């Protein structure tokens, strides 16, 4: 059981915080809701008190003998503000303390998660951009808002992510991982690319994107700002990451090279298709009356990992590759992996034995992490989230 302070600020999305509160209490946490005055214009105090089982106040002059403006922050294991308005982001960034929530933010020494929600113009305003950057620099985990339908007919970035997604971020944070990636920008690719033959058919592969997404979630929990380049992933992407969706290897390449320019670490967990059809048929390829199947001429795709290594300046970003290997007559899984590492020139290589059915789409994994210096770290079979943390442990040693 953790002690959670749920700050709710004045936006229509305050109703979603009621569902987030339910998720926390159902998981057995003790939640104190601290709404702002304007939040109560949207959802009233009785809702928060009934759902949390705790009293609710907005100012510092109620319930004074308990000194709540200091005590709440000091005793919390997590402070989460959802939704966080532009006004509250500004107050938090500037250290104002004009109500109970902002006092709590100043006294809290635990992790702080903020989930902004506002109209796109406000989110993109330079003042808000600067406030978010300040908060992130101080180690606050500011969740990237979703893009989509806003309160009115307008659409764009600014929606509060679903309560389940905010909850998942908070659970990661509550695991108490070290925030040793705070201030670092990491880029993770996930999923498998598709190469189209015609408007309906493509060459693809079995990557679900789970390991890459676990890496993104783990990096968020450790305080990084995360860009997730997602290629046809079949699992939900984490709230809090900047997500760039791609389909083909060429799109993945462009997105990775661009994101890597400002990155401290890059992990190529995606499975790009190695080959693509030489030509794309504008119309669906039809079966021939004579029963002869078409032959497909393939050409090799660019190797993104190699290009990332070649185009970096100096030792930044740290570059991590994955190697899906099977042992054969020419060598063991690790023999092939060592040769691959030498070929690709990355700093770390995470080696997966894919000779069995035990990797693709599975919740767990078993890997060996090879370093450029020649050491080997086996990571015993564990959930992909644990494997992700083991990979970041190895990365952290190189970004410090
Ligand atoms: N990779 C890449 N670009 C490609 C192919 C692979 O960046 N066109 C990256 C993968 O994301 C992974 C690493 O290279 O991080 C190794 O991928 P893997 O499929 O094991 O290696 P290949 O280079 O495809 O080698 P081979 O299939 O010949 O073993």
| Domain containing residue 58: CATH number | 3.40.50.1950
Residue 180 lies in a domain: no
Closest atom of ligand 1 to 271 CA is 11
Residue 179 lies in a domain: no
CB 256 within 8 A of CB 229: yes
Q: For 50-85, write each residue's pLDDT tens digit.
A: 999 999 999 988 888 777 778 899 999 999 999 999
Contacts of 331 (CB under 8 A, 6+ apart): 339
Q: For 312-368, write each residue's pLDDT tens digit.
A: 988 899 999 999 888 999 999 999 999 999 999 999 999 988 876 655 667 788 999
Token pair of 314 as six digits: 């100096």
CB 151 within 8 A of CB 123: no
Task: Please give the pLDDT value at position 176.
Answer: 84
Q: Is the CB of 391 under 6 A from ligand 1?
A: no
Give the number of domains in the chain.
Answer: 2
Shared domain check, 379 and 274: yes
Continuous H helices in 94-125? 100-107, 120-124
Shared domain check, 214 and 120: no
Q: For 235-282, write each residue's pLDDT tens digit.
A: 989 888 889 999 999 999 999 999 999 999 999 999 999 999 999 999
Task: Please give the pLDDT value at position 324.
Answer: 87
Distance 221 CA to ligand 1 centre (A): 27
What is the pLDDT confidence band of residue 155, given thresholds at 50, 70 and 90? confident
Place of tokens 């700050």: 7
Q: Check whether 288 has a pLDDT greater than 80.
A: yes
Q: For 1-30, write each residue's pLDDT tens digit.
A: 999 999 999 999 999 999 999 999 999 999
Better-predicted residue by pLDDT, 225 or 5: 5
Task: Please give the pLDDT value at position 315.
Answer: 85
Q: What is the mean pLDDT of residues 175-204?
A: 93
Sign of the C-alpha dihedral, residues 380, 383, 386, 392?
positive
Residue 146 lies in a domain: yes
- The domain boundary residue, chosen from 174, 205, 226: 174
Q: Is the CB of 323 under 6 A from ligand 1?
A: yes
- CA–CA separation, 367 and 381 (whole Å): 7
Structural domain containing residue 67: 3-174
Token pair of 162 as six digits: 């679903």
Shared domain check, 96 and 219: no
Look up 131 and say whether it is catalytic. no
**Polymer length of the chain:** 400
Distance 206 CA to ligand 1 centre (A): 14
């Amino acid at each position: 059981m953790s002690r959670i302070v749920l700050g709710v600020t004045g936006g229509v999305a305050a109703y979603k915080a009621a569902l987030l509160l339910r998720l926390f209490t159902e998981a057995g946490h003790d939640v104190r809701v601290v709404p702002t005055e304007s939040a109560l214009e949207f959802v009233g105090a009785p809702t928060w008190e009934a759902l949390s089982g705790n009293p609710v106040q907005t100012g510092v002059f109620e319930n004074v003998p308990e000194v709540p403006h200091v005590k709440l922050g000091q005793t919390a294991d997590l402070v989460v503000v959802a939704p966080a308005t532009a006004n509250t982001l500004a107050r938090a960034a500037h250290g104002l303390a004009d109500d109970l929530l902002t006092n709590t933010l100043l006294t809290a020494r635990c992790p702080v998660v903020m989930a902004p929600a506002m109209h796109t113009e406000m989110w993109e305003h330079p003042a808000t951009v600067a406030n978010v950057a300040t908060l992130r620099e101080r180690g606050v985990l500011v969740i990237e808002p979703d893009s989509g339908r806003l309160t009115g007919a307008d659409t764009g970035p600014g929606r509060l992510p679903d309560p389940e997604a905010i909850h998942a971020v908070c659970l990661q944070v509550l695991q108490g991982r070290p925030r040793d990636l705070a201030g670092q920008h990491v880029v993770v690719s996930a999923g498998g690319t598709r190469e189209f033959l015609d408007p309906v058919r493509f060459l693809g592969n079995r990557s679900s994107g789970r390991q890459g997404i676990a890496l993104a979630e783990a990096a968020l929990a450790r305080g990084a700002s995360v860009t997730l380049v997602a290629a046809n992933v079949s699992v939900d992407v984490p709230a809090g990451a900047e997500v760039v969706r791609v389909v083909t290897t060429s799109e993945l390449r462009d997105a990775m090279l661009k994101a890597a320019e400002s990155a401290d670490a890059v992990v190529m967990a995606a499975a790009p298709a190695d080959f693509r059809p030489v030509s794309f048929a504008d119309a669906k390829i039809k079966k021939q009356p004579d029963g002869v199947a078409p032959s497909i001429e393939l050409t090799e795709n660019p190797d993104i990992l190699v290009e990332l290594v070649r185009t970096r300046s100096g030792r930044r970003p740290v570059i991590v590759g994955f190697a899906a290997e099977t042992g054969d007559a020419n060598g063991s899984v690790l023999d092939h992996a060592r040769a691959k590492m030498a070929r690709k020139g990355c700093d770390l290589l995470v080696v997966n034995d894919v000779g069995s059915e035990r990797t693709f789409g599975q919740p767990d994994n078993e890997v060996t992490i090879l370093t450029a210096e020649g050491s080997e770290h086996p990571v015993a079979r564990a959930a992909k989230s644990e494997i992700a943390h083991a990979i970041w442990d190895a990365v952290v040693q190189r970004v410090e």
